[in-house]
Amino acid sequence: MKVVLTQTEGSPHFALLDDLDLPDVQIVQVSTPDELAAEIVDADVLYGFPTAALLRSGKALRWIQSPSAGVNYLQDLTELVENDIVLTNTRGAHGPSIGEHTFALLFALTRHIPASIQAQRDRYWARPELYRTSREVRGSTMGVIGFGAIGRAVAQRAKGFDMEVLAVDPHPEPGAPFVVETWGMERLPDLLQQSDVVVVAAPLTTGSYHLLDAAALAHMKPNAYLIVVSRGGIVDEDALVDALQNGKLAGAGIDVTEIEPLSPESRLWDAPNLIITPHTAGDSSEKERRCIEILRENLVRFSQGETLLNVVDKQRGY
């Protein structure tokens, strides 16, 4: 079995693969397009992001381990959707990092951290402006859109801050942990109306594209916060800017945008009460290790003909 590693995601921990007791497994790491083109021809396994060209060249491919949890590239890759290659992702690896980043964004908004940083740069003691303007999250309601591994990681931390959590998901699970209730997507308007904080933790699919448009955002409380940490494209960005400019939301924090990197001309840059981070929510050295631990476990399972972790339903896109 030949395994080709094309990504640097988790590369500091590739040594975890060195002591695999799999004598028939050959692991090859490539760093240039020419190396990849030469090695993919007879590869059984790819650790990396698939492309149409790779699929055409990799005639022997049987399994692709995606370094990411999101696999929205499937929308434009019918060659992969329609063939028998198994696709797995790193679902679960990013949950702790994104869970913490969610609250970093939320607390920056509720405690006016950007204003304090700007005042510090200006050498100005801003207590008169900021005193009595902060808010606590304790006792408030968080609504989580998408209750997979990321949504659960966010909800777990919300419970630690004494928040009540509601969730919507295409496949609601009765008795799911950390939540008061999990609803189907038809209850999204109810979740938006009842939540003081809404967190977007859903994958980007054809069904979730612009799920939060102007009409949906209008259901939110004017003193509510929106946090987006899964994928860009789920929130209509123009509608979000309009809501912030018109005082229809207290603030928003986004780690992902529909087009990345975000264009200098985007209206998002100048939106009031908006914090933007550059798709770093899932990043941590610990996450890098978890990605390789998933790959390692799946290599053992694949070599022994066992069911793999995190198999993606290519029709659904997650």
Domains of the chain, by residue range, sit at 2-91+285-303, 95-276
Q: What is the pLDDT confidence band of residue 19, given thresholds at 50, 70 and 90?
A: confident
Nearest-angstrom CA–CA distance, 171 and 183: 8
Q: Is the pLDDT at 293 greater than 90, yes or no?
A: yes
* Predicted pLDDT of residue 9: 83
* Predicted pLDDT of residue 8: 81
Question: Does this chain's domain 2-91+285-303 share its CATH topology with 95-276?
Answer: yes
Q: Is the pLDDT at 45 greater than 90, yes or no?
A: yes
CATH classification of 2-91+285-303, choosing from 3.40.50.720, 3.20.20.150, 3.90.1570.10, 3.40.50.620? 3.40.50.720
- The closest alpha carbon to 207, from 318, 282, 297, belongs to 318
Q: Is the pLDDT at 91 greater than 90, yes or no?
A: yes
Q: Is the pLDDT at 66 greater than 90, yes or no?
A: yes
Active-site residues, by number, are 231, 260, 279
251 three-state secondary structure: strand
**H helix or E strand, kind and range, residue 105:** helix 95-110
Helical pair 95-110 and 113-121, crossing angle rounded to 10 deg: 70
207, 209, 215, 219 alpha-carbon torsion, rounded to 10°: 80
Average pLDDT, the chain: 96
SS3 for 169-236 is CCCCCCCCCCCCEEECHHHHHHHHHHCCEEEECCCCCCCCCCCECHHHHCCCCCCCEEEECCCCCCEC
Specify the CATH architecture of the domain 95-276: 3-Layer(aba) Sandwich (3.40)
Q: Is the pLDDT at 21 greater than 90, yes or no?
A: no
Tens digits of per-residue pLDDT, 167-177?
999 999 999 99
Retrieve residue 217's tokens.
């955002």
Nearest-angstrom CA–CA distance, 305 and 85: 14
Q: What is the pLDDT confidence band of residue 7, given thresholds at 50, 70 and 90?
A: confident
Nearest-angstrom CA–CA distance, 196 and 302: 44
Greatest Cα pair distance, the chain, in angstroms, is 69
